[in-house]
Structures are given as C-alpha cells and as structure tokens.
Structure 1
Amino acid sequence: MSQPLSFQLIDTHAGGDVSRIVIGGIAPLPGASVREQMHYLRDDADGLRRLLLEEPYGIPEMSVDLIVPATDPAAAAGYIIMEVMGYPIYSGSNTLCTATAVLESGIVQKQEGHQQFKLESPAGLVQIDARVENGVVEAITCEGLPSYIDTYQASIQVPGIGKVTYSIAYSGGFYALVDAAELGFSLVREEERALADCAHKIVEAIKAERGFSHYSLGDVGPLPFLHFMGPVEQIADDFYRSRSTTYVHPGVICRSTTGTGTSARLALMHHEGRIKPGDRLETVSLRETGFIGEFTGTHQEGSQAVVENTITGKSYVLARSEIVVNCDDPMVECQGLRHILKQD
C-alpha cells in the first residue's frame, strides 16, 4: 500500500465556469518564467490536469488553475491554466477565479474598497482591479489579451450543415465567430447539446481546410474554439448586450460566455466600426450569467489593428478542500503526477 498524497484546492466559479484553484501541495516547478513552468507541466507533469478534470475527481467542463510563485517581481503570484483541451496561455474566467482565490486565501491581503495588483499568467503580466465590499470580493476586472480579427466573413461548406459564414478572431486563442440565428439557434439552455454538435462540425471543417498563425506567437495550434453570437442590443449610448455561448471541446459548451470569447466579440465589433473606446458589451450565457467587456483602445502591431480591452465579472467560492490522491485506487492514474506533489 502506498502512502496517500494530498494537495489543497479552492473551488470557484465565474459565470458558471468552475475553476479549481490549486493553492498548496505542489512542489516548485522548473522554469525561469510562468510560461516555461506551464510547458513543464504540459510536457512532463500532465497528470495534475488529468486528475482534476477526469473521473473520479472532476469532469471536462471544469478548469484548473495552479498558483505558482511569480517570476516577475511586479506580480503578486503566478498561475497556470489547465483545461480539457490543454494549456491555454490566457483565460478570462480563469483569471477572474484566480484573482478571487488569491484574495480569499490571503496570498494577496484583501482591502475594503478598490485595490489593484498584478498576476503573472503564461501570457505575461495581467492587471487586476478588485472591488471588495464588506469583506466580499464583489467584482474583478482583468485585462483581456490584445485581440484582433484574422479573417472576416469567410465561408465554408460543412457536412450536415451546409454553407457557414464565419470570422476568425484571436483573443488568447483563435475563435471562429458565427451568427447563431443564421444556424437556427436562439441561444437558450435547451439547445446546449445541439450547439456543441454543430460547433464541432464547423470547427473540424475549418481545421481540415486551413490553419492560423499569430502575428508574433506564430503557430499556436489548430483552431480550438467557436463562439455563437446572438443579436446585439444597444442598452445605452455606450453599452451593448448580446446572448452568446462558447464551444471549447467536443461535447463541451462553456457555462459562461468566456472572457476571451467576449474579447473576440469586441474585436469583431471594432472591425465592423460598431464601437468606440469606452463602449462596453455584456455577453449573456445560456444560464443567464454575464461578463462585461470594455473596449479601451487600439494599437497597431504590424499589419494588425489590435483591440485593447478589459473583462469584468464576479467569481464565487464554492469549496475549500484537500484532495487525497491514493495511487492504489484503480481509477487514479499517478503517472505524470507523483513527482510534483510535495512529500511529507
């Protein structure tokens, strides 16, 4: 019998997306940056991601964020994002949850009112603005990655669907953006399975036809995401709202609208000349939760007009727990995991 191992979690959710924040029990990872530490996890210690997203501990709809020491002195902490599709360099919902967890765990001392600090993601430093009322983290605003439109209004024949018109945005990952109504969807919860099946067919068709390259990162892998866009409603001079949903993996529709999906929408609206700096877009999910993206400005990166933006939402603490890892359990796979767990 082997000795059970353990580590500590704070489970949170933002917009319905559950993020499991690992706050203790993991040994220091090699790497001179959080990005390098992410590569180590991906290549040599993928067991942590798999353990928490597969039976018996988790499900693919969840995400995992590992808190690590920051390598940049300007940051209060670093974090590595793990999802069912792998290791994205950035995620809005995961950043909202991680920022809340570092405040609730005391890694960053919570202050009443507004406070600012930085986190180090695999994509680099992220500015965090937190609003605390009566000791409760009521809102987090985080920077979205610079976003841009790679492809506008292309079309493709998709088996079982027909001709589909799509745009491609980069906002931390490449997104196919499609009009939900054109595909027969109203974006209600009862459509969730059909949305996942439809998105999978479209993404596979696009992947089979072409790839995408980031202007500075180069090849970041095949197209992973698809974002269904509902009609945009203007609520005020500088405020818009749209039902939205994001596909991230076969069978998996995000519970939230996703922060990076919201950033992609802002990039598209800017490309179409529909918003100006200071305008905000609230994306509303199948579960009636929402994130608010703000278009804050633009700058030029080579030939790309890049959209600067922020994402605002609230994360809720669901549980504080200790995960016990018993490698004798036939449902637990310890390969790729044991060597990064702290030994007593």
Structure 2
Amino acid sequence: MTPELTIQLMDTHAGGDVSRIVTGGIDPLPGGTVRAQMEYLRDQADGLRRLLLEEPYGIPEMSVDLLVPPTDPRAAAGYIIMEVMGYPIYSGSNTICTATAVLEAGIVPKQEGEQRFLLESPAGLVNILARIKEGVVEAITCEGLPSYIHTHNASIQVPGLGQVVYSVAYSGGFYALVDAQSLGFGLTLREERELAHSAHAIVEAIQAEQLFFHYSLGDVGPLPFLHFMGREEAVARGYTRSRSATYVHPGVICRSTTGTGTSARLALMQYEGRLGVGHKLETISLRNTRFIGECTGVSSEAGYQMVNNNITGRGFVIARSDIVVNCDDPMVDCDGVHRILSSRRRSPSE
C-alpha cells in the first residue's frame, strides 16, 4: 500500500482558458533559476504535467502553473507553465491567472487601486500591474515577451487545404499566423472543430518542412502554435479589434485568444506598418472573451524588429481544492512524479 498524497490547487481562468495553479504538495525542485527548475520538471518529472492534464484529474485543454519560490529576490513568486505541448517559457493567459492567484491566496496582499509587483517566469522577471476595486481583482496587465517576425508571407502546400500563406512570429513560442478568411473561416464557435482540424494539418506541414531557431535561445522545439487572424476593425485612432483563434499542437483550440497569440499579432501589424507605439489590439475569441495588447516600444536586435508589449485581461478563481494522488489507483500513473510529491500528510486542522 502506498500513502495517499495531496496536491493543493486553485483553478482559475482568463478568457476561458483554465489554468490550474498548484499552490502546495510539491517538494522544492532542484535548480538555481526558475528556468532550471522547469528543465528539471521537463526532463526528470514530466509525470506532474501529465497527471494534472490527463484523466482522471484533467483534460488537455487546461494549463498547469506550479508556484515555486522565486530565485530573484525582487519577485513575489515564481511559476512554471505546463501545457499539452510541453513547457512554454512564457504565456500571457497563464501569467494573468498566476498573478490573480497570488493575490487571492494572499502571497501578494491586495491593495486598493493599482498595484505593481514582479513574478519570475522561466523567461525571467515579468512586470505585473493589478487593478483592484473593493477587494476584487478587476484586471491584470502583464508584460509580454518582446515579439518579432521570423518569416513573412511564406507559402506551403497542405494536404486537404492546398496552398496556405502564413507568417511566423516569436512571442514566447513560435506562432504560425494565418488569415482565417483565406481558408473560408469567419471565426465563429461552430467552426471550432474544423479550425482545429485545419490548424493541425498546417502545423504538421510546417513542422515537416522547417525548424525555427530563436536568435539567442537557439532550438526551442518544433513550432507549436497557430493563430487564425480575423478581419481587422479600426475602432478608434490607434485601437484595432479583430476576431482571433489560437491553436496549440496537437489538437487544442484555446478558449481565449491567448496573450502570446495577441503579442504575435502585434509583431505582424508593426512589421507591416499598421501599428505604432501606444497602439492597441483587442483580440476576440470564439467565445467572445477578449485580451488587449498594447505596443509599448520598438527596438532592433540581431536584425529583427522587436515589439515590446503589454497584455491586459482578467482572471477568475473557479475552484480551490485538494487532489488526492493514490499511486495504487490503476487510472493514475505516478511514474516520473513520485519523486517530487510531498509525502507529508495534511492534518485535519490544515
């Protein structure tokens, strides 16, 4: 008989994408940085990701964010992002949810009005601006990673779809950017399954043809994301709105437009001369949830135009719970996770 182990969770969502925040039950991870701890999880204890994203505990459409002590003393908390595709070094929706969770858990005490603090992601420090009204977290603005266009208006033959034109941006992961209307999509909820099917075919074709390398990080793995772009609508001077849908390989259409997807769009708009500093893009998902991206600056690095940006959204707490992990359960695979699960039983008073 093995002991029952517990993992403490706060389930949240931003724009419909559920982020499962792990607040306790995991032993300290080796590694002198949050990035090194992420790499340990990826290489030595990937069972935690699979445990919380697969049956009987979860579904692939969710994300998991493990809170860890920050290695930079300026940060309030560190966090490691886990998704169906693996371990992205950054995610806007996950950052919004994590920032909401640390406020709701009291790790960062709430202050009425606007308050700023830092989180430590695998990509480094992230500036957070929280807007609090009467104790309610009404909005989170997080600093996106500098985004740039790697490939512009390339073309590829995709089985079942024909010739598809796409661009590739880096915004925390590599994104294929595809005009939805060119494939006959209006980006409505009833198209969700067909969008996933088409995106899967496009990503598979791109992965088979080309590898993408970050100018400083090098090989960050096969291209995992595709962002369908709807028609752009000018709402006001410097403010654009567009329906959007983000796909994560393999098989997931995100409920939100995603923060990194929005950042990728900002990079493309700036590259094509349709976005300036201070301009905003509001992306609208299949479920009519919204993120707002803002271009905060433009610079040049390694021959690329870098778009600095912020992403604003709102996170909601939807559950606080303990997951009981019993390794005798035939539905539970503890391989690769038992070494990091705390064996301490919680007392009734905890």
Q: Do both share a fold (TM > 0.5)?
A: yes
Partner residue in 1 for 2:97: 97
Partner residue in 2 for 1:233: 233
CA distance, structure 1, for counterparts of residue 220 and residue 48 of structure 2: 22
What is the deviation of 1:250?
A: 2.4
Query: Which residues in structure 2 correspond to 1:118-137 (within 5 Å)?
Result: 118-137=118-137
1:48 counterpart letter in structure 2: L
What is the deviation of 1:105?
A: 0.4
Partner residue in 2 for 1:33: 33
Partner residue in 2 for 1:327: 327
What is the deviation of 1:302?
A: 1.6
Report percent identity of matched pairs.
74
SS of equivalent residue, structure 2 residue 90 = coil
Partner residue in 2 for 1:339: 339
Partner residue in 2 for 1:58: 58
Q: Are the aligned partners of 1:12 and 1:19 in contact in 2 as well (CA < 8 Å)? A: yes
What is the deviation of 1:62?
A: 0.1
CA distance, structure 1, for counterparts of residue 4 and residue 343 of structure 2: 10
Q: Are the aligned partners of 2:3 and 2:343 in contact in 1 as well (CA < 8 Å)? A: no
CA distance, structure 2, for counterparts of residue 41 and residue 281 of structure 1: 35
- What do residues 299-322 of structure 1 show as CA deviations (whole Å, max 9, x unaligned)? 111201100000000000000001
Task: Work out whether 1:224 is the aligned partner of 2:224.
Answer: yes
1:23 counterpart letter in structure 2: T
CA distance, structure 1, for counterparts of residue 246 and residue 34 of structure 2: 26
CA distance, structure 2, for counterparts of residue 29 and residue 66 of structure 1: 11
Partner residue in 1 for 2:149: 149
CA distance, structure 2, for counterparts of residue 12 and residue 42 of structure 1: 23
CA distance, structure 2, for counterparts of residue 46 and residue 25 of structure 1: 16
CA distance, structure 1, for counterparts of residue 78 and residue 84 of structure 2: 20
Q: Which runs of 4+ in 1 moved over 3 A?
A: none
Please report the RMSD computed on the Cα atoms of aligned residues, expressed in angstroms: 0.6
2:310 counterpart letter in structure 1: T
CA distance, structure 2, for counterparts of residue 272 and residue 72 of structure 1: 37
Task: Work out whether 1:287 is the aligned partner of 2:303.
Answer: no
Partner residue in 1 for 2:109: 109
Q: Are the aligned partners of 1:170 and 1:264 in contact in 2 as well (CA < 8 Å)? A: yes
What is the deviation of 1:342?
A: 1.3
Partner residue in 1 for 2:191: 191
- What do residues 213-243 of structure 1 show as CA deviations (whole Å, max 9, x unaligned)? 1111111111111000000000000211000
Q: Are the aligned partners of 1:141 and 1:313 in contact in 2 as well (CA < 8 Å)? A: yes
What is the deviation of 1:201?
A: 0.6
Q: Are the aligned partners of 1:193 and 1:251 in contact in 2 as well (CA < 8 Å)? A: no
2:143 counterpart letter in structure 1: E
Larger mean CA deviation between 12-21 and 294-303 belongs to 294-303
CA distance, structure 2, for counterparts of residue 209 and residue 42 of structure 1: 26
Query: Which residues in structure 2 correspond to 1:182-331 (within 5 Å)?
Result: 182-331=182-331
TM-score, length basis structure 2: 0.98
SS of equivalent residue, structure 1 residue 31 = coil
TM-score, length basis structure 1: 0.99
- What do residues 243-270 of structure 1 show as CA deviations (whole Å, max 9, x unaligned)? 0001102221000000000000000000
SS of equivalent residue, structure 1 residue 299 = strand
Q: Which runs of 5+ in 1 are unaligned?
A: none
Q: Are the aligned partners of 1:197 and 1:250 in contact in 2 as well (CA < 8 Å)? A: no
Q: Which runs of 5+ in 2 are unaligned?
A: 345-350
